[in-house]
Chain A
Amino acid sequence: MISIDGLSFGYSDQKVLSIPHMEVKEAEHLLILGNSGSGKTTLLHILGGLLQPKEGKVVIGNTDLYSLSGHQRDKYRGQNIGLVFQKAHLISALSVGDNLLLAQYLSGTAQDKGRVYEVLEELNLGNKIDKKVRTLSQGEQQRVTIARALLNRPRLILADEPTASLDDDNAMKVIALLKNQADKYKASLLIATHDQRVKEQFKLQLNLSTS
């Protein structure tokens, strides 16, 4: 489903991230472990089409991500890749529902309020649809970003430290949620984290610190 070949990326001359080959199949879950600074986020950004690698290919399905033009890649990402970050980055000028509608608008898919409500309802946020983002708790906000990531039925879900700013209870809930939803959409799920609490939850693991 998603594969990388001969990938290398260097922020500066010293630190170089290189992965000769890696593959994650459809509906497979992969945990990317590593201390901060080990390149987890960088790898995730490369996989998400946010950061051009120095060398190598990223192929999702049949699409070679970096052979697309910038504009096409933005569009591809919007429609096929769901991104979840450590902090719940929502547009605070908009309501919860409008945040999701914006995601549909920006990715170029049809704006569908029914779909927005459906996804929010799945994550128990149906009653928050008209609320301002600021009035939501941290955990709720993180759930909204997950809802946003799932909105366009992505083939690939990338989560960068999704549990880092949450307490144990919420962290477990978020991980369970991500796994359930990924299964539901038959999407590949990649989670980058240094959070030891989530380690046991995944069979497939990639440790960047030791490699």
Chain B
Amino acid sequence: MNLISLSWNYIKSKPLNTALNVLLMSLGVAIILVLILLSTQLEENLSKNKRGIDLVVGAKGSPLQLILANVYHIDFPTGNVKLEEAKAITRNRFVKSAIPLALGDNYGGFRIVGTNHDYVKLYEGQIEKGELWTYNLDVVLGANAAARLKLEVGDNFFGAHGLSVADLEHDERKYHVIGILEQNGSVLDNLILTNIESVWAVHAHEDEDHEEEATDTKVLGSAFETGFPDGDEADEITSMLIQYRSPMGAVQMPRMINANTNMQAASPAFETQRLFSLLGIGVDMLRSFAYIIIVIAGLSVFISMYNALKDRKYDLAIMRSLGASRGKLFVHVIIEGIIITTLGGLLGIVLGHGLMELLANSYEKSDEIGVTGWIFVNQEFYVLLISLGVGLIASLIPAFNAYKTDISKVLAEE
């Protein structure tokens, strides 16, 4: 017998009351935890995927859309830009490197991205099977794409026009899988990569119906490793990802491009920050809601302990008469409050992870944005501390009442 088992026995003797308080507490904690898990994972993934990209240049439209489409591959592209105009930009002295992207097709919902090997290097992608593409119409799959599409090196498939699943297939030109990338948690996991010329070839074929191009002879890409492919005036790309040579680029380039060309330039850092401040309002509201629930849980613990102590004043007086000091009774009541809210906190953490995983599973894009319930963050420790603190505060007044129990008076009242 000690104070903890004594408090625990009291808690057990009121199972319904305890269950209600624990449940309330866990609900608040679970909501906070889901928010924490979601925002840390999103933030981490978003910042991971924009690393090394200072500026995105593409067709005019919404800058946020440009970033979402070309960096995170979740929104639709704003349109295309002329290859020649894009190439002109890369000759600017502030540009250290530029990676061209050509979007437009998908296979089974996974985007086919025409680009060069620099794009793989940007995200530090490693080849797991096969090799990187060099010939046109050869593709390399991201790990998730390969797993979901059940494609292996050596398989062939027809791309579909557009970026969502149910579009028309280009059924003349087959893509050929020659490599699969290792999973690395970046956007590469969910992409199908190839030469820009492959994308052109598929579309050109559709537009002009050149029968003679439908042979299976392999054509080496003109810029599979780095740089821009050779193309004619009609050729277009969707965007390019630019890295500055010096910080001065950030001052000069966007203004220059937005004012003097048909293209627009958007900064991933700026746009994701804007996105977060938009999302932030919703997150903040949910978070304050969760804190309100936690405060109510604390209040509920306080009220039920306060009421219970009225019935328990004889118990407390008896404990004093058996030799317990005032301080011991104070601690006894505090422990009771802390046990209840800490149980709530622990249950809340379990619930929070479960809820997060449930959300991640029910949302089919979740592995594209890379959220899961099975990660643990440092803030959980603080959440647990908060629940402990709530228990402490809720039980302070009841504990103080226990502390100043007038034994003689209570015992004489019988």
> Could you tell me which A residues sit within 8 Å of B by CB distance?
41-42, 45, 48, 50-51, 70-71, 74-75, 77-79, 83, 85-87, 89-94, 98, 101-108, 111, 148, 160
Say which one of B255-263, B279-287, B292-300, B321-329 lies at the interface with A: B321-329
Q: Find out whether the CB atom of A106 lies under 8 angstroms from the CB atom of B412.
A: no
Is B378 part of the binding interface, using a Cβ–Cβ cutoff of 8 Å?
A: no
25 contacts between A and B (CB under 8 A): A42-B408, A50-B320, A50-B407, A51-B408, A74-B320, A74-B323, A75-B323, A85-B411, A89-B318, A90-B318, A91-B318, A92-B315, A93-B13, A93-B315, A98-B1, A102-B1, A102-B6, A103-B322, A103-B323, A104-B1, A105-B1, A105-B6, A106-B324, A106-B328, A108-B323
Instruction: Write the chain A residue with the least CB distance to B326.
Output: A70
In the assembled complex, the Cα of A17 lies from the Cα of B320 at a distance in Å of 24
| Known A-B contacts A42-B412, A51-B408, A93-B9; A74 and B325 likewise in contact (beta carbons under 8 Å) | yes
Q: A92 → chain B, closest Cβ, in Å?
A: 7
Q: How near does chain B come to A33, taking the closest CB pair, in angstroms?
A: 18
Tell whether B217 is near chain A: CB-to-CB under 8 Å: no
For the complex, is B69 an interface residue (Cβ under 8 Å from A)?
no
Binding site for A on B (CB under 8 A): 1-2, 6, 9-10, 12-13, 314-315, 317-328, 407-408, 411-412, 414
Interface of chain A, main secondary structure? helix
In the complex, which residue of chain B has the Cβ closest to the Cβ of A94? Answer: B9
B325 touches A70 (CB 8 A): yes
- Give chain B residues whose Cβ lies under 8 Å from the Cβ of A75: 323, 325
**Are A105 and B2 in contact (CB-based, < 8 A)?**
yes
| Residue of B314, B317, B321, B328 contacting most chain A CB atoms (<10 Å) | B321
**Cα–Cα, bound, A105→B328 (Å):** 11
Residue of B nearest to A79 (CB): B323
Q: How far is the CA of A51 from the CA of B414 in the complex (A)?
A: 16
Q: 10 tightest A-B contacts by CB?
A: A78-B323, A107-B323, A51-B408, A93-B13, A101-B1, A106-B324, A45-B408, A105-B1, A106-B322, A50-B408
State the Cβ distance, A18 to closest chain B Cβ, in Å: 18
B241 to chain A, nearest CB (A): 67
Minimum C-beta distance from A50 to chain B (A): 5
Known pairs A86-B414, A101-B1, A106-B328; A91 contacts B315 (CB<8 A): yes
Residue of A with least CB distance to B320: A74
Contacts of A102 in B (CB 8 A): 1, 6, 319, 322
Most A CB contacts (10 A, CB to CB) among B322, B327, B411 go to: B322
CB distance from A167 to the nearest CB of B (A): 18
Residue of A with least CB distance to B315: A91
The residue in chain A whose Cβ has the minimal distance to the Cβ of B317 is A89
Least CB distance from A105 to B in Å reads 4
A50 touches B1 (CB 8 A): no
- Minimum CB–CB distance from B338 to chain A (whole Å) comes to 17
Nearest-neighbour CB distance to chain A for B330, whole angstroms, equals 12
Give chain B nearest CB distance to A42 CB in angstroms: 7
* Given A93-B10, A102-B6, A45 and B412 contact (CB-CB distance below 8 Å): yes
Q: Which listed residue, B2, B321, B325, touches A83 by the CB 8 Å rule? A: B321
Q: A45-B408, A93-B12 are in contact. Are A71 and B323 (CB under 8 A)?
A: no
How far is it, in angstroms, between the C-alpha of A160 and the C-alpha of B2 when the chains are bound?
28
User: Would B321 and A77 count as touching, CB distance under 8 A?
Assistant: yes
Could you tell me the distance in whole angstroms from the C-beta of A145 to the nearest C-beta in chain B?
Answer: 9
**Nearest-Cβ distance from residue B45 to partner chain A, whole angstroms:** 50
Contacts of B320 on A, CB cut-off 8 Å? 50, 74
Q: Which residues of B contact A89 (CB under 8 A)?
A: 314-315, 317-318, 411
Chain A residues in 8 Å Cβ range of B326: 70-71, 74
Q: Is the CB of B323 within 8 A of A92?
A: no
Using Cβ atoms and an 8 Å threshold, which residues of chain B touch A85?
Answer: 411, 414
| Cβ-defined contact, B322 with A78, below 8 A | yes
Bound-state Cα–Cα, A90 to B319, Å? 9
Q: Min CB distance, B133 to chain A, in Å?
A: 72
A158 to nearest B CB, angstroms?
10
* CB proximity of A58 to chain B, nearest CB, Å: 14
A92 to B414, CA, bound (A): 17
Q: From A48, A71, A90, A92, give the contact of B321 (CB < 8 A).
A: A48
Give the distance in Å from the alpha carbon of A103 to the alpha carbon of B322 in the complex.
6
Nearest-CB distance from B398 to chain A (Å)?
16
CA distance A42 to B318 in the complex (A): 16
B residues less than 8 Å from A83 (CB atoms): 321-322
User: Chain A residues with Cβ under 8 A from B1's Cβ?
Assistant: 98, 101-102, 104-105, 111
Residues of B within 8 A of A87 (CB): 414
Q: Which of A74, A98, A107 neighbours the largest number of chain B CB atoms within 10 Å of its CB?
A: A74
Quote the shortest CB–CB distance from A27 to chain B (angstroms): 23
B3 to chain A: closest residue by CB:
A105
Residues in chain B near residue A104, CB distance under 8 A: 1
Separation in Å of the A71 CB from the closest CB of chain B? 5
Q: With the chains together, A160 CA to B318 CA distance in Å? A: 13
Other 4 A-B pairs with CB < 8 A, given A41-B412, A107-B323, A160-B411:
A74-B320, A74-B323, A74-B326, A91-B318
Report the minimum CB–CB distance from B131 to chain A (whole Å).
71
Q: Which residue of A lies closest to B328 (CB)?
A: A106
Question: How far is the CB of B9 from the nearest CB of chain A, in Å?
Answer: 5
CB-CB < 8 A to B315: which residues of A?
Answer: 89, 91-93
